């Protein structure tokens, strides 16, 4: 009995330590003024984006009656990712905070053009604005990657990126429904104004950041050479290359999974297409939990092991979806939600930690292109495969492929096996990123 009580006490103690450790990282990030403001900007802009993207597809469908044109909205937003390295160069040529503010303000102004879209023959305007929207998202991501390395110390990058993932996934649980509801009840105008307002609020929030930022050094060579420098860094930096490859293959499988999900719901579960929304909501819950747990875990285990564990969960989730059971489908959605963010956060953290500041914009954009472009391509491939192949063996094959990727990810990949450490010159804690004196020169 005494031994049992001691064991129980040990378990409770370990759990308490784990909870305190998780709270420690999260609180340290949130207590810092710059970090809190940045996450606030991400929160409001993420809400508007999530609401707009679903509403835009429904909007096009209602104006044209075409499902293919409605799907084209998503393609327009993601297409600029394919030229991400070229867009990312801009983030290394100018100061990042003014660039982030200007990007949000410009998107807010551009969205107002959508108020003129009131018939099928003006839908092309919406497509054009969505392409600009996508360019802005790529540019903002590149600028944000550089800003994060300035305001967050290296040992808290995992916590910060996990919180960012949690914020984004949390918005996906409520914002799409809000956007679709506004569109259904009041038309497109409130949706456009909502998204415009969130970008304005995000720009104002980012303008409150206090961070030392000198003008970037003059870049050597033309635009093409600078793009190549970013690609070359990803190729030759062992840790980044290894994780980017694993993340890219994982997102390829995720794209195929996205194309198969409707067959799972229809042919396997015999439910209406609306049940896909339930599965995605459960996946979002898993992603939210995963984001909160990321920081403490990344401080204890190497990024490659953390990413491999996530890929393993993701692979098991995909493979087991072949079982025609609603309860299994819900459980696998939760597992996918837990696993998929792990490889993405681990890779993003490695890029931020390993990349020199003068290259971070183009390297981040290059990594994002390599990771997310396969997802876009796989959506199209999966749509074709599901028309000629039964979805169940396809899911099993995808699950096996995921297990192989997880095994490969465990390899050292030429990089260190130790958990994330602060980069040279990084502040020891979040408080070190406090505002600099107003008299300091070249402060943005």
Secondary structure letter of residue 215 according to DSSP: P
Q: What pLDDT score was predicted for residue 216?
A: 59
Nearest residue to 160 (alpha-carbon basis) of 303, 348, 307: 348
**20-210 and 226-419: identical CATH topology:** yes
CB-CB contact of 100 with 206 (8 Å)? yes
Helix residue spans in 32-122 (DSSP H): 33-64, 67-78, 84-91, 96-111
- Residues 342, 57, 124, 122, Cα dihedral to 10°: -150
Nearest residue to 84 (alpha-carbon basis) of 286, 409, 418, 369: 369
SS3 443: strand
Q: How far is CA 363 from CA 223, 237, 240, in A?
A: 14, 11, 10
Q: How far apart are the two ends of the chain, measured CA to CA in Å?
A: 64
Nearest residue to 57 (alpha-carbon basis) of 138, 109, 137, 130: 130
> Mutual orientation of helices 326-354 and 157-186 as an angle, nearest 10°?
130
Which CATH architecture is the domain 226-419 placed in?
Up-down Bundle (1.20)
Q: Which sequence spans correspond to the domains of the chain?
A: 20-210, 226-419
SS3 295: helix
Element (H, E) at 122: none
Mean pLDDT by 10 residues, the chain (444 residues): 42 41 60 80 84 83 78 80 82 83 93 91 92 90 80 75 78 77 86 92 89 63 74 88 94 86 83 76 86 81 91 95 92 93 90 81 85 82 79 92 94 52 38 32 33
SS3 212: strand
CA–CA gap between residue 300 and residue 376 (Å, rounded): 33
**What topology does CATH give the domain 20-210?**
Growth Hormone; Chain: A; (1.20.1250)
SS3 347: helix
Neighbours of 19 (CB within 10 A): 11
CA–CA gap between residue 69 and residue 58 (Å, rounded): 10
Q: What pLDDT score was predicted for residue 252?
A: 92
CB-CB contact of 309 with 341 (8 Å)? no
Q: What pLDDT score was predicted for residue 196?
A: 93
CB-CB contact of 275 with 265 (8 Å)? yes
Q: Does the predicted TM-score (pTM) go above 0.75?
A: no
Q: How many CA atoms lie within 13 A of 428 on its CB side?
A: 0
CB-CB contact of 307 with 243 (8 Å)? yes
CB-CB contact of 321 with 332 (8 Å)? yes
Q: How far is CA 44 from CA 63, 185, 202, 208, in A?
A: 28, 22, 6, 15
Q: What's the chain's Rg over C-alpha atoms?
A: 22
Residues 6+ apart with CB under 8 A from 266: 273
Q: Which residues pair with 212 in a beta bridge?
A: 443
CA–CA gap between residue 21 and residue 15 (Å, rounded): 10
CB-CB contact of 154 with 422 (8 Å)? yes
Q: What pLDDT score was predicted for residue 398?
A: 93
CA–CA gap between residue 203 and residue 97 (Å, rounded): 10
**Residue 212 dihedral angles phi and psi, to the nearest 5°:** -70, 125
Q: How far is CA 422 from CA 21, 65, 342, 426, 430, in A?
A: 18, 53, 19, 6, 12
Neighbours of 112 (CB within 10 A): 13
Neighbours of 189 (CB within 10 A): 13
């Amino acid at each position: 009995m005494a031994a049992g009580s001691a064991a129980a006490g040990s378990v409770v103690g370990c759990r308490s330590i784990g909870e305190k450790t998780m709270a420690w990282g999260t609180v340290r990030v949130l207590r810092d003024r710059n970090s809190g403001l940045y996450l606030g900007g991400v929160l409001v802009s993420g809400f508007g984006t999530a609401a707009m993207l679903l509403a835009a597809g429904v909007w096009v469908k209602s104006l044209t009656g075409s499902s293919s044109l409605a799907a084209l909205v998503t393609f327009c937003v993601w297409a600029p990712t394919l030229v991400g390295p070229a867009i990312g160069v801009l983030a290394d040529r100018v100061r990042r905070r003014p660039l982030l503010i200007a990007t949000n303000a410009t998107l807010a102004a551009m969205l107002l053009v959508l108020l003129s879209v009131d018939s099928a023959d003006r839908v092309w305007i919406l497509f054009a604005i969505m392409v600009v929207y996508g360019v802005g998202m790529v540019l903002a991501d590149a600028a944000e990657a550089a800003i994060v390395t300035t305001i967050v110390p290296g040992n808290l990058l995992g916590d910060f990126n996990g919180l960012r993932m949690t914020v984004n996934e949390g918005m996906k649980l409520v914002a799409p429904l809000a956007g679709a509801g506004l569109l259904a009840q009041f038309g497109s105008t409130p949706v456009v104004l909502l998204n415009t307002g969130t970008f304005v609020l995000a720009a104002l929030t980012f303008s409150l950041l206090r961070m030392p930022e000198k003008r970037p050094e003059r870049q050597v060579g033309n635009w093409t050479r600078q793009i190549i420098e970013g690609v070359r860094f990803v190729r030759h930096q062992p840790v980044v290359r290894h994780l980017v490859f694993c993340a890219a293959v994982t997102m390829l499988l995720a794209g195929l999974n996205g194309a198969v999900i409707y067959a799972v719901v229809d042919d396997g579960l015999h439910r209406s297409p609306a049940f896909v929304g339930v599965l995605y909501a459960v996946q979002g819950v898993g992603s939210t939990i995963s984001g909160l747990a990321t920081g403490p875990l990344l401080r204890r285990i190497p990024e490659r092991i953390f990413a491999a564990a996530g890929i393993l969960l993701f692979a098991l989730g995909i493979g087991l979806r072949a079982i025609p059971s609603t309860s299994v489908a819900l459980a696998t959605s939760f597992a996918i939600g837990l696993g998929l963010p792990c490889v993405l956060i681990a890779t993003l953290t490695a890029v931020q930690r390993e990349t020199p500041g003068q290259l971070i914009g183009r390297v981040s954009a290059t990594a994002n292109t390599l990771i997310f472009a396969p997802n876009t391509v796989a959506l199209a491939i999966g749509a074709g495969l599901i028309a000629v192949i039964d979805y169940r063996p396809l899911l099993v094959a995808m699950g096996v492929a995921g297990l192989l990727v997880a095994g490969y990810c465990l390899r050292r990949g030429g990089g260190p096996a130790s958990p994330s450490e602060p980069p040279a010159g990084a502040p020891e804690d979040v408080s070190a990123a406090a505002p600099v004196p107003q008299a300091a020169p070249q402060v943005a």
